[in-house]
Amino acid sequence: MPSPEQRPTVFLQNACYEHQYIRSKDSSLIVERPERLRAVTLGLAAAIARLGDYSDAPVAPGKPDDSDASDLADALSRIDINRGSTRDEPVNTIRSSASIQLMNNPAVKFIHGDIDGDKYLENLTSWIKESRTKIANDQSEIPDGLSQGDLYLCPGTLDAIQGALGTVCEAVDTVVNPNHSAPRAFVAIRPPGHHCGEDTPSGFCFVNNVAVAAAHAHLKHGVNRVVIFDIDLHHGNGTQSIAWQINEETYRKTIEAEAGASAKPGPQIYYGSIHDILSYPCEDGKPELVQAASVSIHGNHGQYIENIHLEEYTSEDHFWNDLYPNRYKRLFSKAKQFLDSTGGPGDDVMVFISCGFDACEHEYSSMSRHNRKVPTSFYYQFARDAIEFSDRYARGRLVSVLEGGYSDRALTSGTLALLCGLVGGTTTIDQSWWKTEHLEELEKAAKKKRGGRQSLSTAPQDPWLARTMSVFSALEAEGPRPSKKAAVPVPISSRTLRERKTGPASNVKTATPTASKPTSPAAKSVAIQKPRPQSRGEGDASSLSSLSSVNSDAESGVPPARKLPKVILRLGPKPEESS
């Protein structure tokens, strides 16, 4: 059992399930789906069970230990109520209800606002509000000029975005709090954010969660130096663009101050990414995107950017004895160079991980098509190295935020490995915990029958598996309840700016929203088939999510699909079903 100061805090947010694909009932090609969070929750449950100091008494075949389930459910309930941990839990769990107003939050405006008016935020809010009406009128809810192939919206998207941003800012407040014993956190939210620039949504992303969290840390807690490690399969072009412009402005103010002008110090950001240069957004070989994803610049023009391309590994020995120590760990050495050259360790430093699990060895082959993968143990080791780095430079303050990861097995195994790494210290970790055979046992035990009931195996369960299912059931009981989608758009919530360049999404014209009259609860909304957001991988979700209690289907009464749009992100073969 890890000591209190070693226990990471995991933040969950029910509102993030509300962002759903509603253009048609067929969502089989949609990989950025609410069920991703269920797979993460399973990984969290496995981490709690594996790390916990529980008895290994045998469990009756086909029957979870009822007393164990009751005790764990009670413990998890107390965690949420008291906003902290209990002495029995190896991982602190908070089911957040935090939410921020998109149009009124200083950190959001710092990243996505505009000195001439918050055009992008206003447009995004209008697109969300009008989404169901647009679809019902045979129009796309995504405006012309933006990618129809990897973006979708629904009325619940606003709650999801505002809940995601509220939760990641709450995580920042928690780890900065000097009274909080464990200054590191993992935030499980969606939609992801690292492809979204200041006003350029793309790649499933509409706001940049990590960038907003960094702005919140700067504006509220005086964090002036931010380190962002991005370990998603795909280059975080949005985050790099935001970091570049913030650094550019801070550099300009620094030069002016040296010339005698009075200026408040601005934030400085180091952005380091490990990614596949052959995948989105560089897949088509566009020079500006490939060049951006290959930048390495440190200090000149006030920029601190390091990009490292994933390479195919031939064996575990090749990965751990060559690629990781000689290439991938360069992210840390360059981050050290950044901080050492700007003042060294300090209270004004904070570390973030844009944590995508789509480079995992268990990701869909149709998503990771170039075999630029990492073994699951990478997430464990990277977390350990990030803790060592943050302990040295940032008083241990580290926030990891979910980005990509689309197969359930990649999400579950990656979460388990990451959380085991985040406990740090001398806690005993057995890396066989995320071996394939154990993951298959997890998936089988967590599989749901149609109708939402959990399948109970008649075979004997290992104690760790029974404990995992007890924790998982308790966590799911606190999760979102299945409900029918409203037939009308849900009401939306109700604006420290920086100078910036105007992007394309700010100039997209949007009609003035008009109020819709409520209809009978029994009324059905007809969703006309629109161009489908293209999944970066094709095929059904694994059995865990395809039978989830979360209903991700759209309304009934859907006419046959017309035709798919031009493929933006090339689809690979359909992934094999999970066993």
Cα 39 from Cα 547, distance rounded (Å): 12
Give the span between the Cα atoms of 418 and 384, in whole angstroms.
Answer: 9
Tokens 């010339």, residue? 259
Question: With 0-12 CB in 10 A as exposed, 13-18 as middle and 19+ as buried, what is 545?
Answer: buried
Say if residue 191 is preceded by a cis peptide, omega within 30 of 0. Answer: yes
Helices (H), 347-462: 377-393, 408-422, 436-446
Torsion of CA 124, 125, 128, 130, to 10 degrees: -110
Residue of 281, 388, 411 lying closest to 335 (CA atoms): 388
Measured distance CA(345)–CA(388) in Å, rounded: 13
Q: What is the pLDDT of residue 568?
A: 36
| Rounded CA separation 182/164 (Å) | 21
pLDDT in tens, the chain (579 residues): 666 677 899 999 999 999 999 998 888 889 999 999 999 999 999 999 999 854 343 333 333 344 444 554 454 444 443 344 444 678 999 999 999 999 999 999 999 998 878 999 999 999 999 999 999 999 999 999 999 889 999 999 999 999 999 999 999 999 999 877 778 999 999 999 999 999 999 999 999 999 999 999 999 999 999 999 999 999 999 999 999 999 999 999 999 888 888 778 899 999 999 999 999 999 999 999 999 999 999 999 999 999 999 999 999 999 999 999 999 999 999 999 999 999 999 999 999 999 999 999 999 999 989 999 999 999 999 999 999 999 999 999 999 999 999 999 999 999 999 999 999 777 789 999 999 999 999 999 998 644 455 555 555 578 999 999 999 999 999 998 765 544 433 333 333 445 455 555 655 544 333 333 333 333 333 233 344 555 454 433 333 433 333 333 333 333 333 333 333 333 344 445 443
* CA 555 centroid distance within chain: 27
Angle between helices 237-258 and 209-221 (to 10 degrees): 30
For residue 378, tell me if it sits in a domain: yes
What the block records as the tokens of 299 is 């200090």
Where residue 294 sits, what CATH number does that domain have? 3.40.800.20
Q: Is residue 518 part of a domain?
A: no
The 3-state DSSP class for residue 227 equals strand
Do the beta carbons of residue 92 and residue 182 sit within 8 Å? yes
- C-alpha neighbours within 13 Å on the C-beta side of residue 176: 23
Residue 305: phi and psi, rounded to 5, are -130, 135
479: DSSP letter: S
Residues 6 or more apart in contact with residue 408 via CB below 8 angstroms: 35, 36, 38, 39, 42, 443, 541, 542, 544, 545, 578
Domain extent at residue 272: 4-477
Give backbone dihedrals phi and psi of 226, rounded to 5 degrees, phi first. Answer: -120, 135
Instruction: Using the structure block, give the residue that is written with the tokens 């939760």.
Output: 167
Q: Is residue 213 part of a domain?
A: yes
DSSP letter at 493 equals P
Q: What angle do CA 568, 573, 579 make, to 5 degrees?
A: 130
For the chain, what is the domain count? 1
Per DSSP, the three-state class of 209 is helix
* DSSP H/E element including 351: strand 349-355
Tell me whether residue 382 is in a domain. yes
Whole-angstrom Cα distance, residue 209 to residue 213?
A: 6
**Number of helices (H) and strands (E), helices first, in the chain?**
15, 9
Where are any strands of DSSP class E within 216-290? 225-230, 268-275
Which pairs from 337-340 meet CB under 8 Å and 24+ separation? 337/298, 338/225, 338/227, 338/268, 338/270, 338/298, 338/304, 339/225, 339/227, 339/270, 339/393
> How many angstroms separate the Cα of 325 from the Cα of each of 38, 251, 429?
33, 32, 21
Geometric angle at alpha carbon 310, from 304 and 315, rounded to 5°: 140
Query: How far apart are the C-alpha atoms of 154 and 169, rounded to whole Å?
Result: 24
464 within 8 A of 488, measured Cβ to Cβ: no
Record the tokens describing residue 42, joined without a space.
């399973």
In a domain, 535, yes or no: no
DSSP annotation of 113 reads -
Question: DSSP secondary-structure letter at 398?
Answer: E
pLDDT at 448: 65
Please state, as a whole number, how many other Cβ atoms lie within 10 Å of the Cβ of residue 183: 23
Residue type, 395: R
Instruction: Kindly state whether residue 494 falls inside one of the protein's structural domains.
Output: no
Q: At what angle do helices 35-51 and 408-422 cross, to 10 degrees?
A: 40
- Do the domain assignments include residue 448? yes
Measured over the CA atoms of residue 545, residue 546, residue 551 and residue 555, the dihedral's sign is positive
In the numeric block, which tokens belong to residue 218?
């700067």
Residue 92 lies in a domain: yes
The answer to whether 175 and 184 have CB atoms below 8 angstroms apart is yes
Q: Are strands 296-298 and 304-309 parallel, antiparallel or unpaired?
A: antiparallel
> Which pTM value belongs to this model?
0.82
CB 307 within 8 A of CB 293: yes
Nearest to 529 by CA among 126, 34, 141, 20: 141
- Our CA dihedral for 280, 283, 285, 287, rounded to 10 degrees, sits at 0
d(CA 375, CA 355): 15
- Tell me whether strands 184-188 and 9-13 are parallel, antiparallel or unpaired: parallel
